[in-house]
Structure 1
Amino acid sequence: MPSHRETRHLPWSHEQMYHLVADVARYAEFLPWVIATRVKSDSDTEMVADMVVGFKQLREKFTSLVRKVPGERIEVEYLDGPLKNLENIWQFASDGKGGCTVDFYVSFTFKNRLFETLAGQYFDRAFRKMVSAFETRAEELYGNSSSSAAIVAS
């Protein structure tokens, strides 16, 4: 089962980064391989959303339950689609200086062995690119980060 963990110190507030990650409806605007999203229901603490992802001719839709602790944590629980399971957790913490630390973790298994094999070959690089896309989006929304963003651990 492929997994990836990455922690970044970023110059934006933990609230800003939380809101950016919680805005699933806009993922197709900036995330690589996300073709479309549809939020089925949304509240301050929970969301159900569909996401269509694709690479070349491969396209898959999956549905997730997103549990939210505003400003602190987002947990994604897999409901339906091409996966056997998915665990995705984002944690946001203030650094006390106006910036924050973002901890990202994802682990999943595809039902289809071919997809699992392909994912294993590209998984780490793909998720690093995805996390970087969130950082780039934060720069667009909240201003230039200069060079103070750094990968803390991977």
Structure 2
Amino acid sequence: MQKLLRTLGMAIFASSVAACGLVYVPDVQQGNLLDKKTVEQLQPGMTKRQVLVLMGSPSVNSPFYQNRWDYVSTVAHRGGPMKVRTFSLAFNNDVLVARLDLKFAGIRQSFTTRNTPERPHRLTMHFVEGPFTSLEGLFEFTALGEHGCKVELLLDFEYAGIGSSVLKMGFQALATRMVDDFSAEAGRTYG
């Protein structure tokens, strides 16, 4: 009888503790858990082998599109809602290139460029694939004394497809945002 009462008492105590939220619920992380430092080490022009050594194997490697690697992770913090994070890399001839997704006025398009840095003065963009018949770009960085830098983005592109005027406006807005993002990152990094 005492054993039954002790077991019943422990069950009631455990139920009470669980109902109060005092039970430890661990974080649950699955997939490729990439940190910011690792991602920042990626550079256009890296080979697939170099990316594999740095980032590990991708979560998703499609047999239909072998030049795209997707890293996917899910994180649930202490039983909270599941957060899904994805990070995609694109390659051209086994060399890492940059891919941007453009969504404007309900139209979504992606394009890929091969970027060649010429530090510290410029970064050249060359069209690889996407909804353009041509795309060439140049970021130019001009020193303004010891504590400043002028960032310019020169773009020459021709869109091939339906809705070209809408996408042209969206792409021009994206270009302005890219320059603003460069400036903001420089401000965070260099003060």
Contact 1:37–1:49 (CA under 8 A) maintained in structure 2: no
What is the aligned partner in structure 1 of residue 89 from structure 2?
38
**For 2:132, which of 70, 79, 83 is the aligned residue?**
83
What is the aligned partner in structure 2 of residue 146 from structure 1?
none
Question: What's the RMSD between the two structures over aligned residues?
Answer: 3.2
Cα distance in 1 between the residues matched to 2:188 and 2:165: 35
Runs of at least 5 residues in structure 2 that lack an aligned partner in the other structure: 1-39, 45-85
Contact 2:151–2:179 (CA under 8 A) maintained in structure 1: no
SS of 1:97's equivalent in the other structure is coil
- Post-superposition CA distance 1:41-89 (Å, at most 9, x none): 8xxxx85222222235322222211111121211100011111111110
- Post-superposition CA distance 1:87-110 (Å, at most 9, x none): 110112323423222222112111
Find out whether 1:127 has 2:175 as its counterpart: yes
Runs of at least 5 residues in structure 1 that lack an aligned partner in the other structure: 1-19, 25-34, 144-154
**For 1:64, which of 113, 118, 135 is the aligned residue?**
113
Structure number with higher relative contact order (C-alpha < 8 Å, ≥ 6 residues apart): 1
C-alpha distance 37-85 of structure 1, shift in aligned 2 (>3 A) = farther
Larger radius of gyration: 2
What is the aligned partner in structure 1 of residue 154 from structure 2?
105
User: How many aligned residue pairs are there?
Assistant: 108
Normalising to structure 2: TM-score of the pair? 0.45
Identity between Structure 1 and Structure 2 (%): 22
What is the aligned partner in structure 2 of residue 31 from structure 1?
none
Q: Which has the higher strand share?
A: 1
C-alpha distance 98-47 of structure 1, shift in aligned 2 (>3 A) = farther
